[in-house]
Structure 1
Amino acid sequence: MSRVGLRLLSAIPTLFGVVVVTFLLTRVLPGDPAVFFASNPAMSAADIAAVRETLGLDQPLYQQFLIYLGNLAQGDLGRSIATGQPVAAEFARRLPASAELTCLAFLLAVSVAVPLGLAAALRPGSLVDHAVRLIVTLGVSMPTFVTGLLMIYVFYVLAGVVPEPIGRLDPFLFEPARVTGFLTIDALLAGDRQILAAALHQMLLPAATMALFALAPLTRMTRAAMIATLGSEFIRTARAAGLSRGRIVVVYALRNALLPVVTTMGMVFSYMLGANVLVERVFSWPGIGAFAIDSIVNLDYAPLQGFMLIMAALFIAVNLVVDIVSAIIDPRVGH
């Protein structure tokens, strides 16, 4: 059986384990959602007990879990206490905002990290190599929320070159007709260049914040893989055959160094999906990460469980894509 097939089979127990762990974790959180929900001082103990019964919290833990499994089998992630809306509907509305931000941040990170890693690998031990390592170390040395706050202070407060960090779009602008949920794509489909430019401008700072943290692993892996490949026997043979330096680097070395780089890209992208939680809070980004943080504060079980389950499914999907791309680069990997 291929590696992709094994990954698909292993996803089933993985997802079930995530369901069990998230269910148990939410039940051990301090506080009582019924008390939080029934926060009116005029409500009596009987009223709170009625709320617990409505939420199903009066039932034994195993019975709550079986009910939760039954709902999941029907595609029901529950209902948010805070918003009163189905969790699936909330995620469908918020997930495109998180995905758009993460994808742009990932593209920024890759477009900068790969050239930096190549430049460092072609001149190991040089001033360029040391400068690249210093840059990526600075990018990973601070937590993302600290980096975000510093970037807001420098580029918005001091320089004033970026818009106010208040979400996906200026409140005085109207969103285009929702087709994909991605503002940039929907603006392109609507032919609205003003919204497209405004959406990209609004995303630039939070995306750069996330990309800075992803630079280090991508640059280091590109550098290490290229150095190892450039020292291989077939590269020395290509040089002896008189092939140009550009052809050797791009056609032979880079292609053979792609496998570990692609694997690292998958790991970094998976991490960025979870790391955007703090970035969304700093930049008031209306994504699923900010929604998950609010659910923790509000002791709202259903959104938190749904968030962790969706993140696990996305991680598995990313790993599958990495396996498929790796098999395309090197067919031996897929077996």
Structure 2
Amino acid sequence: MTGIVLRLLSAIPTLFGVVLVTFLITRVLPGDPAVFFASNPSMTTQDIEAVRQSLGLDKPLPEQFLIYLGGLLHGDLGNSLSTGQKVVTEFANRLPASAELTFLAFFIAIGVSLPLGIAAALRPGSLIDHLSRVIATLGVSMPTFVTGLLLIFFFYFVLGVAPEPIGRLDPFMFEPDRVTGLYTIDALIAGDLELFAAALKQMILPAVTMALFALAPLTRMARASMLEVLGSEFIRTARASGLSRRKIIMTYAFRNALLPIVTTMGMTFSYMLGANVLVERVFSWPGVGAFAVDSIINLDYAPLQGFMLVMAGIFIVVNLTTDVVVALIDPRASR
């Protein structure tokens, strides 16, 4: 418990650093938001200066930062200039879309990488071992947006088996009543299986795109960790004792190999939070990643700063959760 509290306290300077760096980076981006939002040709220099004052951009940087920091302490991430809504409201509407996609991709990656990595470790040099290496190499070498475009071309344009990549749901279908913001969960709550199937079908291609990105490190770690454990002395002793192959693999080998795998899972999930930015753009997915990219294009500071802060918070929570799970698997790791 003390370790968790210390972790939380150590996260405070990290979050402050993220806030400071993000604030400074957004202020050095090329372009002037006042000119961008005062793009009417009839507006004069005085009109543009009035817009700059209304945005608070006429104040010195330290004063702007203190105003922004004061808003954060009151839970205010600012307003989006492009949508006119509070950033908190925009994130509350868009974060479930990103979470639903990321979790599905993560579960797909785990469901494929663990059996594949274990099977490759049990049969080194076999066809399945070479297959795992090919998948790991492709996952590392191919950018997510390239993978997404190739999947769209093959499954949508060539085969015609995938839905049009235009968001979370077919435009001719109505959204489910909002309970969690996750369309699949809300459709199940409403008892609408047709809507559930439509929402799930719409997620398959973007989720597979993100899963391929996560497959590489998970498969590689599962294989390497299992190979190391299978060559250990206690495994040879278990075999000499006449224990069944299944018991040796699942009870002894896999449990001891799980520690580095879980650590890699936490790191991979954190990386996926960054990968979903490109995936959401490719598939027109209305999540926080696409919103952040639009904010960069529109020189909209507040959503970009809020995105970085939220992602940093999620990253810290994921790392803390990983440490707790590792401690539950092996209490010695928390000492």
Task: Output the TM-score relative to the length of structure 2.
Answer: 0.99
Q: Secondary structure of 2:275's partner?
A: helix
Determine the structure 1 residue equivalent to 2:100: 100
Alpha-carbon distance in structure 1 between the residues aligned to 2:2 and 2:63: 38
Determine the structure 1 residue equivalent to 2:223: 223
2:243 aligned with 1:243, yes or no? Answer: yes
1:294 maps to amino acid: D
1:93 maps to amino acid: N
Alpha-carbon distance in structure 2 between the residues aligned to 1:135 and 1:105: 16
- State the Cα distance separating 1:135 from its structure 2 match: 2.3
Alpha-carbon distance in structure 2 between the residues aligned to 1:7 and 1:227: 32
- State the Cα distance separating 1:20 from its structure 2 match: 0.3
Alpha-carbon distance in structure 2 between the residues aligned to 1:189 and 1:8: 35
Q: Secondary structure of 1:68's partner?
A: helix
Q: Secondary structure of 2:133's partner?
A: helix
Determine the structure 1 residue equivalent to 2:328: 328
- Maintained 8 Å contact 1:280/1:287: yes
Determine the structure 1 residue equivalent to 2:137: 137
Cα root mean square deviation, aligned = 0.9
> Cα deviation per residue 1:269-298 (whole Å; 9 max; x = unaligned)?
000011100000000000000000000000
Determine the structure 2 residue equivalent to 1:18: 18
1:221 maps to amino acid: M
Determine the structure 1 residue equivalent to 2:286: 286
- State the Cα distance separating 1:2 from its structure 2 match: 4.7
Alpha-carbon distance in structure 2 between the residues aligned to 1:67 and 1:134: 51
Q: Secondary structure of 1:51's partner?
A: helix
Determine the structure 1 residue equivalent to 2:173: 173
Alpha-carbon distance in structure 1 between the residues aligned to 2:291 and 2:104: 20
- Maintained 8 Å contact 1:162/1:205: yes
- State the Cα distance separating 1:106 from its structure 2 match: 0.3
> Cα deviation per residue 1:114-156 (whole Å; 9 max; x = unaligned)?
0110011001122321222112212332100011001000000
* 1:70-149 pair list within 5 angstroms: 70-149=70-149
Q: RCO higher in 1 or 2 (8 Å CA, sep ≥ 6)?
A: 1
- State the Cα distance separating 1:190 from its structure 2 match: 0.5
- Maintained 8 Å contact 1:259/1:330: yes
- Maintained 8 Å contact 1:4/1:334: no
Determine the structure 1 residue equivalent to 2:48: 48
Aligned length: 335
Determine the structure 2 residue equivalent to 1:209: 209
1:206 maps to amino acid: P
Task: Output the TM-score relative to the length of structure 1.
Answer: 0.99
2:146 maps to amino acid: V
Alpha-carbon distance in structure 2 between the residues aligned to 1:133 and 1:7: 36
* 1:239-318 pair list within 5 angstroms: 239-318=239-318
2:71 maps to amino acid: N
- Maintained 8 Å contact 1:292/1:307: yes
Change (3 A) 1:2 1:259: farther
2:275 maps to amino acid: A
> Cα deviation per residue 1:11-31 (whole Å; 9 max; x = unaligned)?
111000000000000000000
> Cα deviation per residue 1:274-325 (whole Å; 9 max; x = unaligned)?
1100000000000000000000000000000000000000000000110000
Alpha-carbon distance in structure 2 between the residues aligned to 1:235 and 1:303: 53
Alpha-carbon distance in structure 2 between the residues aligned to 1:233 and 1:262: 23
- State the Cα distance separating 1:113 from its structure 2 match: 0.3
Q: Secondary structure of 1:135's partner?
A: helix
* 1:154-193 pair list within 5 angstroms: 154-193=154-193
Alpha-carbon distance in structure 2 between the residues aligned to 1:314 and 1:246: 37
2:9 aligned with 1:9, yes or no? Answer: yes
**Gapped runs of 5+ residues in structure 1?**
none
> Cα deviation per residue 1:214-256 (whole Å; 9 max; x = unaligned)?
1110000000110111111111111111000011000110011
- Maintained 8 Å contact 2:116/2:128: no
Alpha-carbon distance in structure 1 between the residues aligned to 2:135 and 2:95: 32
Alpha-carbon distance in structure 2 between the residues aligned to 1:307 and 1:34: 21
**Gapped runs of 5+ residues in structure 2?**
none
Alpha-carbon distance in structure 1 between the residues aligned to 2:131 and 2:104: 25
1:193 maps to amino acid: L
Alpha-carbon distance in structure 2 between the residues aligned to 1:139 and 1:81: 37
Alpha-carbon distance in structure 2 between the residues aligned to 1:7 and 1:219: 29
Alpha-carbon distance in structure 1 between the residues aligned to 2:229 and 2:7: 28
Change (3 A) 1:65 1:278: same
- Maintained 8 Å contact 1:76/1:88: yes
Determine the structure 2 residue equivalent to 1:153: 153
